[in-house]
Amino acid sequence: MSDKVYISGLEGSAIAGVDHWQKPVPHPVLVDVAFSTDFSRASDSDNLQYSLNYAVISDKISSFLKKSHQRNFQSLGGVAEAVFDLLLTERAICTSVDLKVLAPKLDIRAPVSYTFSGPQSGTYHIEGLRALTLIGVFTFERLNKQFVLLDIDMSVPSTHLNVPRVSESVHDYLEQANFKTVEALVKRTSQWILQNFAAVESVSVRVTKPNAIVYTEGVGVSCLCTRAEFAGEEPISISGASKASEAFDLPVESKTVFSGSHTAYIAFGSNEGNQLGHIRLALEILNGHERISVNSTSSLYVSKPMYYTNQPDFYNGVLKITVHDMTPHELLLVLKDIEYEKLARVKDFENGPRSIDLDIILFDDVTVNSPDLVVPHKSMLDRTFVLQPLCELLNPDFLHPVTAEPIHNHLKKLLNTPTDPSVQESSELDIVIPGTSGRYLRFNVNGKLPTAIMGIFNATPDLFSDGGDKYHLEPSQIVAAVLKMKEQGADVIDVGGVSTRPGSVEPLVEEELRRVIPVVQAIRQERLLDDILISVDTYRAQVADQAVAAGADIINDISMGTFDDELIDVVAKHGCGYIMSHTRGTPATMSKLTEYNAGPTSLIEYSIDPGSGLLPPLMDVNVIHGVCRELALQIQAAMDRGVKKWQIILDPGVGFAKDLEQNLEILRHAKRFKQYAQIDLDKNLYLSFHGMGLLIGTSRKKFLGTLTGQAVADQRVIATAATVVASIEQSADMVRVHDVEEVKQAVQTGDAIYRGIYPRS
């Protein structure tokens, strides 16, 4: 039968056992009854005698409850079954009768009810029980309890159950308990009820977090459990858990065996003294430990201080290390020894200045919660200066061990969350590429610093556009020329002693040294040029070594370390900046090596924007990923030999082993070089270009002459300026140019248009 007759919300009162105050007193009850019947004859004849008269039945129930006002029904189920028995006549002519008795005030925490259809067991309901509990994985959730709402259905084979006692027990348990997930909360709440209330046969718990997602009424989960499911489990104990604590408290899975190799990620920071020196020394000590190997580093960032804001900016980054037969606590002891013993850190107060700070961020997928160590680090998800460098070392699918969400997703959310200025002036980071003697390049990850200009100083007789102009100058002439370039807007002077134009012939190393070293020495002897960084355009280790010793800050290598195998070792030894410029072959052969194909299946390649996530691949533009793959191969080789990622600046090598269309594609999509990442499945290695500076060099190059019909190289200034503005639009951090004065105007214009950097009245 599909016909039903309803009575809803029939008011009455009854003594349903004891209430929350353990007193057997009458309480308001609401009765709902649904009769499954067939009233088709009544419908056809429009005659009530062929149906159930709900007015008569309502009066029957009301009268019964009034007459029984002093009767103790022992429970809400007792009330329901008494009413059910009262309806014997009606039940005889119905296929089923569904009965619900609701007592809105029997328990002070939540309305309770009982549903019964007979003769099977009935079900008790607790609706909207509100409890304050510790739940969640984020730092703010671990330090502050939050409300949850529970709907609980309990199947009982017998009639009676002291529901207020169940409600009180669950409420008290949750107030003292501690969960990472709602999934654990619903299961343990079910277990708690079943282990403490023998009358309950099965229980369904639905948990809602009303404040988890702002634009919803709530989110949550539910589960149904039977007593048999917990037969082999230890009973839940909450002894001592009721004590209030302001400490970070995270449930963890215990792991006591840490033999073999383990991967850990260490965040470092420094804002006192020689920051870079402190960081380098800490790495050296760490890597020298017999059971620790430093695998890779992130880029080096500058961040505003957090929490205590009246202190200098920090240098920050992350290391990936391998430890052997060490527990997280043993690693912690090593880090503290480096901080306080080896580098003599003095901690005057929490979150204050420090010479070095080394924190364990991750240790495999282990969770640790002790007074002196919490892993994953409890504050990592709140800090861009941790997440941005960390995501350089973790692939996009790497899950946070507690939240089970990709760490890249956490970074994306953080980057799109406004910064609280009372906590940190700004969460934006700058990239630092160290030179020598305290000089450095500084770029902003969001392009909010002016584009740097590298001015070309060619100390050669045979360059394609200005050979001989600055060849064999006297020291005073060198200084005058460089002072002029500085005045025109140069931030870096790139000294070249070898022509690398396609088809050129290299001089002997001794000749290159005679050309380059006097220029570097002359610049460094002039006090007015102390702040100018010197780059030396060479691919020879001997020249690079002597140039840095003479005061150069950066090695600008067009060969990616492929022409002279020892050059990488020189860069690693000095810790100087290193421009890795893409090329193929030699200057004599590169113009024929312009075919770029799709990568091997062993590589998974990504384009990732930290603030918006994975980007769609470029279609039919093989040159971008082709160049990235070849750069990645050499970057990894350099890092394997001791070069730190923060030393490297990317240069896609416009004009080197690229044809006209490929040069244009690089300029159209140059931003992709900073967004590139790959997983090498064969080597199980992840490499990201995030955090690396990008240099674009188009000045006076042949392809510009092809485009404009300008055969004379030094007449391509306007074309060069156009490519410089295009490079700024594509997030280039530095441009390499011959015509500093003219291009400076293009840079100022491009920075104003694309970066919002210009004088304001």
Cβ neighbours around 313 below 10 Å, total:
14
DSSP letter string, 611-646: TTEEPPPPTT-HHHHHHHHHHHHHHHHHHHTT--GG
Whether 530 is catalytic is no
Measure the N-to-C terminal CA separation of the chain; round to a whole number of Å: 83
Exactly one of 19, 107, 153, 359 is catalytic; which is it?
359
Single out the catalytic residue among 354, 439, 515, 584: 354
Q: Read off the DSSP letter of residue 343.
A: S
For 507-513, which contacts have Cβ atoms below 8 Å and span 24 or more sequence positions?
A: 509/540, 509/542, 509/543, 512/538, 512/540, 512/543, 513/542, 513/543, 513/546
- Distance, in Å, from the CA atom of 580 to the CA atom of 669, rounded to the nearest integer, reads 18
Task: Look up tokens 């169940």; give the residue.
Answer: 166
Look at residue 648 and give its three-state secondary structure.
Answer: strand
Q: Which amino acid is at 424?
A: Q
Cβ atoms within 10 Å of 4's Cβ, excluding its own: 14
What the block records as the tokens of 183 is 């999934």
Q: Please give the structure tokens belonging to residue 305.
A: 């201080």
Residue 280 annotated in active site? no
Q: What share of the chain is helix, strand, coil (3-state, %, to 5)?
A: 35, 25, 40
Distance between CA atoms of 747 and 724, rounded to whole angstroms?
7
Dist CA 651 CA 630 (whole Å): 12
Distance CA(709)–CA(702), nearest Å, equals 10
> Which is the catalytic residue, given 142, 345, 584, 736?
345
- Catalytic: 462? no
Of 742, 744, 655, 736, residue with least CA distance to 457: 736
Q: Produce one character per residue of 414-445: b if its CB has 16 or more CB atoms within 10 Å, e if not.
A: bbeeeeeeeebeebbbbbbbbbbeebbbebeb
- CB neighbours of 749 closer than 8 A, spacing ≥ 6? 725
496 CB-near residues (< 8 Å, 6+ apart) = 456, 457, 458, 459, 460, 463, 516, 536, 537, 538
The Cα-based distances of 107 to 100, 220, 340 in angstroms read 17, 24, 57
Give the C-alpha separation, 535 to 278, whole Å.
Answer: 25
- Set 357, 382, 494, 733: catalytic member: 357
DSSP state of 530: T
Q: CA–CA separation, 134 vs 47, rounded Å?
A: 60
Long-range contacts of 59-63 (CB under 8 A, 24+ apart): 60/86, 60/87, 61/7, 61/10, 61/12, 61/31, 61/33, 61/86, 61/87, 62/10, 62/12
Please give the DSSP secondary-structure letter assigned to residue 407: H
Q: Is 760 a catalytic residue?
A: no
- Largest alpha-carbon pair distance within the chain? 122
Judge if the upstream peptide bond of residue 600 is cis by omega within 30 degrees of 0.
no
* Cβ within 8 Å of residue 465, ≥6 positions away: 700, 713, 714, 738
Catalytic residue numbers read: 345, 354, 357, 359
